[in-house]
Amino acid sequence: MAQAGQTTAKKADLSLKGRLIGWTAVSLVRFFSLTYRWRLHDLAGITKSPPNHPMIWTLWHNRVFAILGVYWKYLRSRLVGVLTSPSKDGEIIAAMAYHVKLDAVRGSSSRRGAAALVELKNRIRSGYDILIVPDGPRGPRYRFGPGAAKLAQLTDAKILPIRIEYGSYWKFRSWDQFRLPKPFSSVDIYFEPLVEVVPDLSQEDFRKECQKVETILNPYNETD
């Protein structure tokens, strides 16, 4: 069994440029996070009664800046694996995982998808939570891709929808309209109730489960 803080994101797997960018990004997140007014809304009850089963964390791509702060403040005791794409952007995420001693699995629906799924299932069997950004790596924005639900269906892990709202932020002109919370902003974290995706669902019922989580993560039907 892996121990908390153990990582398989190896230095040898990352380029020097990727490691430097990852270190810079982690340092920036640490600095900004110290200024934020964090407010937790634990509707899942997982901080008071931590579950003894793995969870699949899901959040939107344009809110990922805050997730390290969420981990540091509220979920530090959990083993965590992060699904990142095999792209250059994914290498930066993997490098950030390396610098904070988290696990990283490289893959996406279009590249290394089957191999990544096997690795993720193995992580869950070893007691890891898995972080998946369901509208990444290229969108469409605010659309819940089926990967997280399929992984939940194949394992005993339940989906933890993590909704993040910033009081004040800069918005980038990227495909996801990435949001960077301004220093001293409020950051509201919602751990929504866990979602179980049972085996043997019909295609239509599986689609409804994905739609349910999508609505939980986007209750106001944001499009911008």
180, two tokens:
């960077």
Place of tokens 């540091």: 72
Closest by alpha carbon to 33, among 72, 75, 78?
72
Beta-strand relationship, 179-181 and 169-171? antiparallel
Q: pTM of the predicted model, to two decimals? A: 0.90
Residue 191: pLDDT band (50, 70, 90) is very high
Work out the average pLDDT over 45-61: 97
Span 168-186, average pLDDT: 97
80-90 average pLDDT score? 81
Determine the pLDDT at residue 24: 93
Question: What does the mean pLDDT of the chain come to?
Answer: 89
- Band of pLDDT at residue 2, cut at 50, 70 and 90: very low
Q: Which token pair is 8?
A: 């398989």
Helical pair 67-74 and 16-35, crossing angle rounded to 10 deg: 60
Torsion of CA 20, 21, 22, 26, to 10 degrees: 100
pLDDT band for position 127 (50/70/90)?
Answer: very high
Query: Tell me: the pLDDT tens digits for 91-123?
Result: 888 888 888 888 888 776 555 567 788 899 999
- For residue 121 the two structure tokens come to 């299932």
Structure-token pair, residue 176:
């996801």
The residues, ordered by sequence, that sit 6+ positions from 36 with a Cβ below 8 Å of its Cβ are: 66, 69, 181, 183, 184, 185, 186, 187
Q: Is the pLDDT at 134 greater than 80, yes or no? A: yes
CB atoms within 10 A of CB 207: 13
Per-residue pLDDT, 1: 31
- Residue with token string 């964090």: 38
pLDDT digits 0-9 by tens, 62-77 = 999 999 999 999 999 9
CA separation for the pair 124, 151 (Å, rounded): 9
